Chain A
Amino acid sequence: MTVPSQKTAMTPAVRMGLSIAFATGLYGISFGALSVAAGLTVWQTQVLSLLMFTGGSQFAFIGVIAGGGSGAAAVGAATLLGVRNAVYGMQMQRLLSPRGWRRSVIAQLTIDESAATALAQESPDEQRRGFWTAGIGVFVFWNAFTLAGALLGDALGDPRRFGLDGAAVAAFLGLLWPRLRGREPIALALACGLVTALAVPLVPPGLPILLAAAVGAVWGWLRPAPDAPREAA
C-alpha cells in the first residue's frame, strides 16, 4: 500500500482504524447482552470490558460462567485466550517503542484490531496513527456498546443479522492483502491459514493463532538473508 504524504488528519491508517473500531465496537452489544444473561451484573460486565478489554477473553470468561464453570476455570480460559496479545506486544514494541506511562496505556490497548491496523501500515507515522485510532476507537465503542447491550439485554438482536461478522472477516483480509506481494508471503499466508483451520477443532480456543504465529516465526527465522527485497516492516 503506497501512502502518499498526506497532511490531513484522515490518513488511510486513521480511516482503517475508525472503520474497524466501529464494526468491532458494535459487537460490544452482544457481549453486554450475553454477559448479563450469563448472570453477571451490569457493573461486572462493564468492568470486564474496561479492565480485561480483549474480546475473545471476555467471551470465554462469560462462556465458562454461563456453562456453570468455576471462577478459576473462567480466569484460566480468559488468560489463555489473551496470550496472543503478548505476541502483538512484541511486535508493537518494535514499531512504536513506547516509553514510561505510554507503555502501560499502549499495552492495555494492544488487541487484535489495534495490532493488525498498525502492522498493515508501511510508514512509522501511519503505524502509530493506526494503532492509536484503532486502539482508542475500539476501547470507546466497545465499552459504550457493552453498556448498551447490558442494559438492553437481547432486545437488539444478534449483530450477525447485520453481517457484522462478515465485516470482521473483510477487515482482517483487507489488512492482510497489501502484504501479499510475491509468492513467498502468499505461500506463508496460506500455510498459516491452513494451520489455523486445522487447529481450531483440535486445540483449546486461543491456541490456533499461536500455532500460526509459531509457523510464521520459524519461517522468518529460517529464511535466507540476502533476498529480502522489499520488507518494510
Chain B
Amino acid sequence: MSLWTAIVLAGLATLATKLAGYAVPERWLRSPRMHRVAGALTVALLASLTVMNTVASGQALMLDARLAALAVAALALWWRAPFLLVVVLGALAAALVRML
C-alpha cells in the first residue's frame, strides 16, 4: 500500500467512525434512562480526558510537570477563576516546573 493510499484510507476510516455516532437513531437516545447514561458518560469522558492528558505518555504512565498543571488548575477552579485564566495558569505551571 502506498503512503498516499494509506493516508486517504485512514482519513476516510476516521471520518466514517465520526459519522457512525450520528447514525444512531435519535429516539433511542431520548428515554429517561438514556438521559442518565448520557449524563454519566459525559463525566466519564471528561474525567478520562483529564487523566489521560495528565499521566499518559504514549503507552506509559509518566508523572511530570503536567501534575503541577493539574494541581494549579484545580486550585484556580476551587477559587472560581475564569476558564481562560485556569488554562493559562495550567500552561505556566507546567512550563515553570520544566524550567526548574
The interface of chain A, by Cβ under 8 A from chain B, is 12, 15-16, 19-20, 23, 39-40, 44, 47-48, 51-54, 57, 61, 65, 70-72, 74-75, 78-79, 82-94, 97-98, 103-104, 106-108, 110, 112, 115-116, 119-120, 160-177, 179-180, 185, 188-190, 192-197, 200-201, 204-205, 208-209, 212-213, 215-217, 219-221, 223, 225, 228, 231, 233
Contact = CB atoms under 8 A, between A and B. Distances in A.
Interface string B48-71: 111111111011110001101110
Given A74-B10, A169-B73, A220-B39, A108 B49 contact: no
Interface of B: 1-15, 17-22, 24, 26, 29-30, 32-33, 35-56, 58-61, 65-66, 68-70, 72-74, 76-77, 82-84, 86-96, 98
A173 to B, nearest CB: 5
Contacts of A110: 18, 21
Contact of A205 (B18, B58, B84): B58
Given A51-B8, A79-B14, A231 B39 contact: yes
B21 to A, nearest CB: 2
The majority secondary structure among interface residues of chain A is helix
B61 A201 contact: yes
Which of A44, A107, A165 counts the most B-chain CB atoms under 10 A from its CB?
A: A165
Contacts, number: 320
Please report whether the interface of chain B is mostly helix, strand, loop or mixed according to DSSP: helix
A86 B14 CA distance: 9
A70 B10 CA distance: 13
A23 B21 contact: no
B48 to A, nearest CB: 4
12 contacts: A53-B14, A61-B10, A78-B13, A79-B17, A82-B17, A85-B18, A103-B19, A110-B18, A163-B94, A169-B70, A192-B51, A200-B56
Given A93-B24, A163-B92, A163-B98, A172 B36 contact: no
A87 B21 contact: yes
Interface centre among A161, A200, A208 (most CB of B within 10 A): A200
A193 B48 contact: yes
Given A75-B10, A188-B40, A193-B47, A161 B98 contact: yes
A116 B83 CA distance: 13
Contacts of B39: 220, 231, 233
B21 A92 contact: yes
B13 A208 contact: no
Given A89-B20, A93-B22, 20 more contacts: A15-B84, A19-B84, A53-B14, A61-B6, A86-B20, A90-B29, A91-B42, A120-B46, A169-B54, A172-B46, A172-B49, A193-B50, A193-B51, A196-B47, A196-B56, A212-B44, A213-B48, A216-B42, A221-B33, A233-B39
